[in-house]
Structure 1
């Protein structure tokens, strides 16, 4: 597949870069970090109601822009570059794909319009224990007259404490593995739902622990039933993994840019340290990893775009897992390598609070484990290539 940015893509990238350079600079990032939800509500309002970023992938019939995942990946790369604290990732990469893949017209009509208008922050809660497989879904959906009763918990839900809408996974009693999983939509003010913010290494992204205690849901709140629940959840997580890879690529690029700016000014032995051959080699290695990550992320974004297309080829679903795993491996490792090298090449000030490399290092380390570590995705690739069941 040959990929090149169109003129429209370049316009999206440049406008996002200009906007984020103003509203998410170093001072703004540090100010957002001390907020309970890690984002400035005024910035989020501008993102949702002036720039329409959450509306990007929402179909036009629901009030969205009807664009694709590639355009969203361009925005995510820039948001990762500027460490934007916002509900954009959870809303656009977790909740919106789940709603689109669920194909429930009534729920789509109700929620996608408010997401597109920037009025609803949404997320996805699925795992009771750390993991990305069907076995991590342990919340039980007990059938009741006219609906179900949900009882269980979810670990490490992205923006779970502040979301206005939660899409949750639960399974029928007595089912195991991929069988019996359904998805439900829960408003943020649902009774008997307890949301506990978690202390995190990356202070620019909030996680939460969610508990459901005999929460009653109606049939109208079921996004998709057990016949397609796991397939929708699996593909949603793969799409989100690709979005995270795009974000990590932007972070890796900025870590490299910060390093190049610093070594171009820092002088030692009457010359800038950028002139030393050993420094040049390390920067060249960083650039190579960034470019590999970007290639993998945008190839995966093209695959995700085809998967989210209602008229897309069913065979794309099989390619999605390989593309997502490849992108996550390259992007996670590139981001961590570039962030670590940035601290090293900044010398004695590299780890101090006043400089920014440590912010990228924390985001890189936290993102490395989010939605599956590189080791986990390597196992998935190996299992697929060797003909085993992942």
Structure 2
């Protein structure tokens, strides 16, 4: 195992970063969230089709890149750095992972090519450690019920709907999708309502908690990207901002705060990379109970640590920017909101720590 980035990963990073810098700068993101249509689907088409990120997890025989979770993690880091309003996590990670698990080849090929966008009809706040609430029923291929806080639903072409262990595919034209207020303006959530919705036979059996665990481990890389942007932006600001005829970054108290944040981000990078590396072999055979346990441990560590680090660095960044950090015009609030919303996405830090304690056989204090 190596936590270092390979040459291929660095090339992928450079391609994604250059595209985002050109078309998804802070000003562009702010304009989009103010417009009420934050998702940039034109940018998504370029990213998914020309760079090929939509098919990173998809094997080459299905038209994908045949890459692994390591490459996906690199893309998520860059999307976190830009708080890019794109359906990559919801479509190319969660939905694609679900389809790979059930083996739906035709739809996998459509997602890999970027022609179709899918979303997993599961609440973004769902935990990989608890059964999903049974809010949707299936009777003779007809779905009824609703799922709240679904991310990516309003820009998806199809929805993947778990009902128990069965996975159904539903066209978005057959459901009602209502976007609801969300803290994260760059990742809206919606309530999806099924009312005698035709779904046909289930396409397979899905272990949705395994998919959510996979997503939680990779979400840590997005949170790492958020934290890295906040840290580097704050460092640049305190070098320029002057007070008492000297840069504020020269004050010892500021230096100590920045050093602590830097250490937090370095640890977050190690945790996120470790999770991505172990998840990279998750697409094949489980490799025995020991390998499964190692992956679950890595996910719990990365998810619990990176989520809190992203929030802490974003909060400190707002404080260290002073008055400008509190303005709408500065993009810092987008990063803080992304960090706060991601903190409760796919399992809270507390839920991941509880799972970590059980996996490591560390009993709670009496």
Q: Same fold (TM over 0.5)?
A: yes
User: Does the Cα contact within 8 Å between 1:137 and 1:169 map onto a contact in 2?
Assistant: no
Give the alignment partner of residue 320 of structure 1, picking from 295, 306, 321.
295
Counterpart position of 1:113: 109
Gaps of 5+ in 2: none
List runs of 5+ in structure 1 lacking aligned partners.
172-180
1:31 aligns with 2:24: no
Cα distance between partner residues in 1 of 2:10 and 2:126: 38
Which residue of structure 2 aligns with residue 223 of structure 1? 203
Instruction: Indicate the RMSD between aligned Cα atoms, in angstroms.
Output: 1.9
Q: Offset at 1:82?
A: 0.8
2:3 match: secondary structure? coil
- Distance in 1 between residues matched to 2:307 and 2:152, nearest whole Å: 21
**Number of the residue aligned with 1:380:** 355
For 1:205 and 1:151, locate their aligned partners in 2 and report how far apart those are by CA, in whole Å: 26
Which is bigger in relative contact order (C-alpha 8 A, separation at least 6)?
Answer: 2
Residue 153 of structure 1 deviates from its aligned partner by 1.5
Q: Deviations over 1:84-108 (max 9, x none)?
A: 1111111111101111122x3xx22
User: 1:125-160 CA deviation, whole Å, 9 max, x = no partner?
Assistant: 13599554453330354443xxx3322221211111
Structure 1 segments, 4+ long, off by >6 Å, are: none
Supply the distance in 2 between the matched residues of 1:100 and 1:57 (Cα, whole angstroms): 9
Tell me the residue number matched to 1:203.
185
- Contact residue 129 and residue 136 of structure 1 kept, 8 A: no
Q: Per the alignment, in what secondary structure is the counterpart of residue 293 of structure 1?
A: helix
Aligned to 2:331: 356
- Aligned residues between the structures: 362
C-alpha separation in 1, matches of 2:295 and 2:265: 22
Residue 314 of structure 1 deviates from its aligned partner by: 4.0
Q: Tell me, what secondary structure is at the counterpart of 1:336? A: helix
CA–CA distance in structure 2, aligned partners of residues 84 and 128 of structure 1? 17
- Kindly report which structure 2 residues correspond to 1:85-124, keeping only aligned pairs within 5 A, or say none: 85-102=85-102, 104=103, 107-108=104-105, 110-124=106-120
Q: Does 1:154 align with 2:147?
A: yes
Q: Deviations over 1:57-103 (max 9, x none)?
A: 1111111111111011001101100111111111111101111122x
1:52 aligns with 2:41: no
- Within a 5 Å distance, the mapping from 1:1-390 to structure 2 comes to 1-102=1-102, 104=103, 107-108=104-105, 110-127=106-123, 131-144=127-140, 148-171=141-164, 181-190=165-174, 193-219=175-201, 222-225=202-205, 229=206, 232-309=207-284, 311-315=285-289, 316-386=291-361
Query: TM-score, normalized by length of structure 1?
Result: 0.88
State TM-score, norm by structure 2: 0.93
Partner of 1:177: none
In the alignment, the residues of structure 2 paired with residue 78 and residue 169 of structure 1 have an alpha-carbon distance, to the nearest angstrom, of 30
